[in-house]
Amino acid sequence: MFQYHCLNPIASVGLDGFGDNYRQTDDFKEADAVLVRSAKMLDMELPGKLLAVGRAGAGVNNIPLDRCADQGIVVFNTPGANSNGVKELVLAGMLLASRDIVGGIEWVNSQKDNPDVGKLAEKQKKQFAGSEISGKKLGIIGLGAIGQKVANAATHLGMDVYGYDPFISVDAAWNLSRTIHHIQDVNDIYRNCDFITIHVPLTDGTRGMISREAIQMMKDGVVVLNYARDVLVDEEAMVEALNAGKVKRYMTDFANPTVAGVKNVIITPHLGASTRESEDNCAVAAVKELKNFLENGNIKNS
Ligand code: MLT
């Protein structure tokens, strides 16, 4: 039986057989392993006896990967466990970008004291007319757990899907090949797609990848969706492109001052994986991975 010490509890459910003997403590010097979510930056000294750091979620940018490598500490994550939650928010983002649902709701609320709101709505609705996503070209950069789910769902919604991922596994590429076009050069996504969504991890190689140059290559009226990490996008260049009408809408899950309040930006406060199902799945998957690692030495990153 393991001893659990919670710095910041990751789950209170689904831990049958694990949950009885944990206690609150700020001291993890004696830990064999630590599990984190996204808010906790592991910037403190890591215990010498630490064997593993697990991330209940996908992004590992709050974990000091170099230090873990130097100390021989295994790092794992659970990239599949919250991918459905993120996928659903991306789909909502595409629909919100295409139909002026937000503008329409705001208008109705502004008329709350008007007894003729129903009649007036029939006259006003022209200004909220949108377009459909069916038949539009969707470019997906990154075909990991989330990118693959977005690809499948978007295909079912009638979109023409283009995917770019130089690191995709052969199996995943084969499974997707029946439904999407694989693109070898990311610039082809920038040049040809009506919607572009990013699903890559934050690394030195991906930081700022949606750069001024990339944005300039995009089609006029493109919608860009960022439900991955904020610093993947040069948001100053994005605001300029929005103001110039080059980008129609920027949908982001990251509340940054550069884009907050800017016209045609719709921001959610990092809600991608904030569903009861995703949170439970991540917590349970992380504990199972850890148990498997400590008992058998195996990691699946499922
Ligand atoms: C992830 O990295 O798994 C998602 O961004 C959600 C989260 O940070 O927990």
Q: Is the CB of 85 under 6 A from ligand 1?
A: no
Does residue 33 contact residue 51 with C-beta atoms inside 8 Å? yes
Amino acid at 85: G
Number of domains in the chain: 2
* Sequential DSSP letters for 36-77: E-SS----SPPPTT--EEEESSS--TTS-HHHHHHHT-EEEE
The reply to whether 248 and 143 lie within a common domain is yes
Q: Which residues of 107-122 are buried (b: 16+ CB within 10 A; e: fewer)?
A: bbeeeeeeeeeeeeee
The radius of gyration of the chain from alpha carbons, rounded to an integer in Å, stands at: 22
pTM, 2 dp: 0.90
- Of 8, 10, 38, 83, best ligand 1 pocket probe by most atoms within 8 Å of the beta carbon: 38
CB atoms within 10 A of CB 167: 10
Whether residue 302 is contained in a domain is answered as no
The pLDDT tens digits for 164-212 are: 999 998 889 989 988 899 999 999 999 999 999 999 999 999 999 999 9
- Supply the mean pLDDT for the chain: 91
Interface pTM, i.e. ipTM? 0.92
Residue 23, pLDDT above cutoff 50: no
Instruction: Output the domain CATH number for residue 214.
Output: 3.40.50.720
* Residue 69 shares a structural domain with residue 101: no
Whether the predicted pLDDT of 4 surpasses 70: no
- Residue 246 structure tokens: 């080059």
Q: What domain range is 259 assigned to?
A: 83-267
Give the pLDDT confidence of 235-273 residue by residue, as tens digits.
999 999 999 999 999 999 999 999 999 999 999 999 999
Residue 13 has pLDDT above 70, yes or no: no
Take atom 1 of ligand 1 and give the residue whose Cα is closest.
58
Same domain (yes/no): 175, 222: yes
Determine the angle formed by the axes of helices 170-177 and 145-156, rounding to 10 degrees: 10
Atom of ligand 1 nearest to the CA of 55: 3
Nearest CA among 81, 300, 59, 95 for reference residue 197: 95
Quote the Cα angle for 17-18-22, to 5°: 140
**Is 243 within a domain?**
yes
Closest atom of ligand 1 to 82 CA is: 3
pLDDT attached to residue 10: 40
144 C-alpha to ligand 1 centroid (Å): 14
**Is the pLDDT at 8 greater than 60, yes or no?**
no
- Give yes or no: residues 102 and 51 share one domain: no
Same domain? For 201 and 258 the reply is yes
